Chain A
Amino acid sequence: GAGVSQSPRYKVAKRGQDVALRCDPISGHVSLFWYQQALGQGPEFLTYFQNEAQLDKSGLPSDRFFAERPEGSVSTLKIQRTQQEDSAVYLCASSPGGGTALYEQYFGPGTRLTVT
């Protein structure tokens, strides 16, 4: 079956622009995660949704970052007034449900954001 897809795969933004990154999780997966991966680092947690509810947004680095999943499927991560330090790969992951299955995450290919 189809895996997690993300679009765009690459995004170049000028400093100060707003960007929107899309994630299509695996069909039926109730849990969805966003991570930020800077160059040479591991993924760092940003936010977590269970269906349409955003249960944890503790990893969002500033109020310029906003995520939504209005119908419990597709999710969008929005970054307002982008800064150079926002340059990173943004990864989306989904998992089938709760308990330990929550952590068996399926990752998308990521969106590489470059802020110039």
Chain B
Amino acid sequence: AQSVSQHNHHVILSEAASLELGCNYSYGGTVNLFWYVQYPGQHLQLLLKYFSGDPLVKGIKGFEAEFIKSKFSFNLRKPSVQWSDTAEYFCAVNQNSGYSTLTFGKGTMLLVSP
């Protein structure tokens, strides 16, 4: 069974700092990869997705993620965080072969101090 590891449960940054959140998955085949975000008091929402093609994916609000197949990784990055980026971030993966369920990581809580 596939699994998703997010390395940090909590990250605290000051505004304008750069962000990188780690995500590694265990499945060896072709995968679809996602980052979801949950802002305080809001629903989970899709931040960005990778299905195929360019491994550098750009999402909303200046976020990007890079798929490195050899490292089984899909790390999330943002060059300069804002206070409004305070949220919980979830990495998710599923097999790119017909139907398969999404497997989520445990999440990383990001706190950005003004």
Contact = CB atoms under 8 A, between A and B. Distances in A.
A55 B99 contact: yes
Given A59-B101, A91-B44, A102-B99, A40 B106 contact: yes
10 shortest interchain CB distances as A-B pairs: A42-B104, A107-B44, A45-B101, A107-B43, A43-B104, A100-B51, A42-B106, A42-B90, A42-B105, A42-B107
Nearest to A43: B104
B86 interface: no
A41 interface: yes
A108 B42 CA distance: 9
Interface string A29-68: 0000100000011111100100000011011000000000
Interface of B: 4, 9, 32, 34, 36, 43-46, 49, 51, 90, 92, 94, 99, 101-107
26 contacts: A4-B43, A33-B102, A41-B106, A41-B107, A42-B90, A42-B92, A42-B107, A43-B102, A45-B102, A45-B103, A48-B101, A56-B99, A56-B101, A100-B32, A100-B51, A102-B99, A103-B32, A103-B34, A103-B49, A103-B102, A104-B49, A105-B46, A105-B102, A106-B43, A106-B46, A107-B36
